[in-house]
Structures are given as structure tokens and as C-alpha cells.
Amino acid sequence: MGQGYSYLFTPYVDKVSAPDDQTVVIKLKTTFGPFLGSVVRIYILNSKLVTSHFKTPGPYGDNGDYGTDWLLTHDAGSGPYMMKEMKLEAYMLMERFRDYWGEVRNDAPDQVTFLGTTEPATIKTMLSNGQLDITDQWQPTENLEAMAKMKGVTRTDIPTTGEFYLMMSMRSSVFQSTKEKQSSS
């Protein structure tokens, strides 16, 4: 499809095969040091379920929309939780998938809700009211410090690897090249 995180793999992946139901073989064209760290961006889906929801016509010829519209609000994954309900830009309710192939802690929650907001006042209020268990990493320092002082709240910093994209408009006059400045003089 050439979307999302495909840029991580397109220059390096030569062939992909599935010799059996439990194995995927990825042959690289060349050495790619961060390959193992990138593997978390390969999403495994139930292909029969997704193909049954292809919308045609779509941008991918006979494959219509490749099920992308349906996948916005439905689940076809292979993880320990499955989407129960999705309201775009509001929340996603997930429930534990009891037939998950991997190990899950016994005390893992049966349901998890992801909220579609990072608004500091909302997050702080919900946490203080016991309506929120975990917050996002994008909270301002002042909010994190205030929430850490609340009764029953513990602040834990978890160092992880991650990505941050800073998009900049190259059409802004701040970024005009010397040549453009000279030609406009």
C-alpha cells in the first residue's frame, strides 16, 4: 500500500514469505541495523476478515480500499486485546482477547479505554476523579507535577525509544533560499 510506516521497510525488504501459519520470513536486500526495532511497526491482521470488507471501487484496483475504511473502526488484529467499540476522535474501548496466543498477566484488565484527548485540564480532572488510570506522555511538565501530588497517584517515568516528527512548511519566508532572496531583490 505504501502508506504509514512502509517507508521503514520499502528500501530494505526483498521478499516476504509465510512457509506455515506460525512463521514469517523476511529477506532483506541489505543490512538494516534498526530492523528489529522496526518490526513492531508490522501489523498482523486476519486477512480473510479484512478482505471481506474491501470497499470497491477504491484506490487499489481490484482490491478496492484494502479494507482501510472498515479498519478505522473495527479490529482484525492478533493482539491480547480486541476493539469492542470505536468512536473516532472520542475513544476506543478494547476488551481482552481470551484466545490470545501469547502470555498475558493474570491481573491484566478485562477492558481498556483509550481517550481521544490530551487536553491537560481534562486529563488532570479525570485523574483526580478516579476516571483515568494512566495519562499520555505529552502532558506539560506543570500538569505532570500537579498530578503526581494527588492522593493515590504515582508518577513513573519510563524511558523508551520513540519517534517524533516535526513537520515544517518549506514555503515559509523564513526558509527562503539565498537564490530566492537574491532574485526578489
Residue range 135-153, pLDDT digits in tens: 988 899 999 999 999 999 9
Instruction: Label residue 155 left, alpha or beta by phi (over 0 means left) and psi (-120 to 50 means alpha).
Output: beta
Q: What are the residue ranges spanned by the domains of the chain?
A: 1-42, 45-78
* pLDDT score, position 83: 92
At 51, give phi and psi (nearest 5°): -65, -25
Between 126 and 173, the more confident residue is 126
pLDDT beyond 90 at 181:
no
Report the distance separating Cα 80 and Cα 95, nearest Å.
Answer: 9
Q: How confident is the model at residue 4 (pLDDT cuts 50, 70, 90)?
A: confident
* pLDDT score, position 81: 93
Residue 71: helix, strand or coil by DSSP? helix
Report the distance separating Cα 8 and Cα 38, nearest Å.
Answer: 7
User: Per residue in 44-53, pLDDT tens?
Assistant: 888 899 999 9
User: Per residue in 88-117, pLDDT tens?
Assistant: 989 999 999 988 988 999 999 999 999 989
